[in-house]
Amino acid sequence: MIQRIQSILLFFASITAIILLFIPIGHVYTDQADYIFDAFFLKENIPNGDVKLYTFYIAIMLIISAFLSFYTIFQYKNRRRQLKLNAFNLMLFLIIIVFMLYICPDFIFVQQGISTTANDFKSNPWIMTCAIPAFFIYMSTRAIRKDEKKIRAADRLR
């Protein structure tokens, strides 16, 4: 049953979450230096620049989300478990998005002494791909529910 549409969607969600590990989230411009912000760290935007802050927890959450999507593919015999795993994964991914785009620039960087007003933080346009895995997870949830509905209708006819 790996050939079902929800399996393909979950596979794409997993791959896209892994790709997000390597896309810079944005740039922080301050009077002292320019910084690159990605899933692993915030470092100066120069060759061999110093790491100002480690943000590996974003990378860990992305890896967990990718693994969870991949694990959910092989739970095809238990659709209810797939639905629960998808709900958890979707919630985790929405937390990742909020954390990457709002909490880190507005709170964590300020605590580290890096001023990030709206003019200082410029997000990478490619970071919009962070919505793609959430969309894939949502669509796979709909497909799983549709399968469950078909099976219940077939059981009722027996």
Mean pLDDT of 101-120: 70
pLDDT at 1: 58
Among residues of the chain, what percentage have pLDDT more than 90? 41
For the chain, how many structural domains are there in total? 1
If one compares 64 and 50, the residue with the highest pLDDT of the two is 64
Provide, for the chain, the percentages of residues in helix, strand and coil under a 3-state DSSP scheme, each rounded to the nearest 5. 65, 10, 25
- Mean pLDDT of the chain, nearest integer: 85
pLDDT at 27: 82
In 72-91, which positions are buried (b, 16+ CB within 10 angstroms) versus exposed (e)? bbebbeeeeebbebbeebbe
Question: Is 116's pLDDT higher than 60?
Answer: no
Asked if the structure places residue 157 within a domain, the reply is no
Asked if the structure places residue 131 within a domain, the reply is yes
Strands, E assignment, 31-79: 34-37, 41-44, 51-54
Mean pLDDT of 123-140: 87
3-state secondary structure at position 61: helix
Angle at 73 between CA 71 and CA 153, to 5 degrees: 135
| d(C-alpha 6, C-alpha 86), whole Å | 11
3-state secondary structure at position 79: helix
User: Which H or E run includes 82?
Assistant: helix 79-98
pLDDT at 26: 83
| d(C-alpha 2, C-alpha 74), whole Å | 7
Residue 12: pLDDT band by 50, 70, 90 thresholds? very high
Report pLDDT digits (tens) over 55-87.
Answer: 888 999 999 999 999 999 999 889 899 999 999
pLDDT at 18: 95
Owning domain of residue 103:
5-23+56-150
| d(C-alpha 96, C-alpha 31), whole Å | 29
pLDDT at 47: 77
- What is this structure's pTM? 0.85
Asked if the structure places residue 45 within a domain, the reply is no
Which residues are 26's β-sheet partners? 37, 123
